Amino acid sequence: MHFFGLVILFGLGIYALSLLGERAYLRTRELKPLVQLILGVALAWIANLNLWSGFAIGNLRADWVGITITGLALGGIAFFFDAVVGFFAGLHRKIEDQAVQLEHGDLKRVA
């Protein structure tokens, strides 16, 4: 269970790093999942983190395959956090129906 928590926290850290990258140098949203996957693979290689050996599944031919697939999984978890945070960030627009607010606001007649 501790290993699962470690993987989730690494995914959250990659999501936070991708947010910093989005503010600093990455302006296109299309490259964000690719950056998260690259950060996940890099973090897995730096930490030598193998998800399959952590869960006692050791039937891989080479250890580098497990580390690389773990990095891809970490990037996927970060992408999942991006979707969840995006949902909750836009929830206020869904609840407070902005179209109704605009109709009841001070709209001036054009014609």
**CA atoms within 13 A of residue 21's CA, in its CB half-sphere:** 17
pLDDT, average across residues 6-23: 86
Residue-level pLDDT at 63:
83
- The answer, yes or no, to whether residue 26 has pLDDT greater than 60, is no
Tens digit of each residue's pLDDT (9 = 90 or more) over 65-98: 888 999 999 999 999 998 999 888 888 777 776 6
User: Is residue 9 one of the residues assigned to a domain?
Assistant: yes
Residue-level pLDDT at 105:
63
What is the pLDDT confidence band of residue 108, given thresholds at 50, 70 and 90? low
The pTM (predicted TM-score) of the whole model is 0.75
User: Is residue 109 one of the residues assigned to a domain?
Assistant: no
User: Is residue 111 one of the residues assigned to a domain?
Assistant: no
Domain that holds residue 44: 2-104
Whether 55 and 3 have beta carbons less than 8 Å apart is answered as: yes
pLDDT, average across residues 36-43: 93
pLDDT, average across residues 51-56: 78
90 DSSP 8-state letter: S
Residue-level pLDDT at 38:
92
* Both structure tokens of 105: 């606001």
Whether 74 and 14 have beta carbons less than 8 Å apart is answered as: yes
Structural domain total, the chain: 1
Residue-level pLDDT at 64:
86
22's CB contacts (< 8 A; 6+ apart) are 29, 32
Residues in the chain: 111
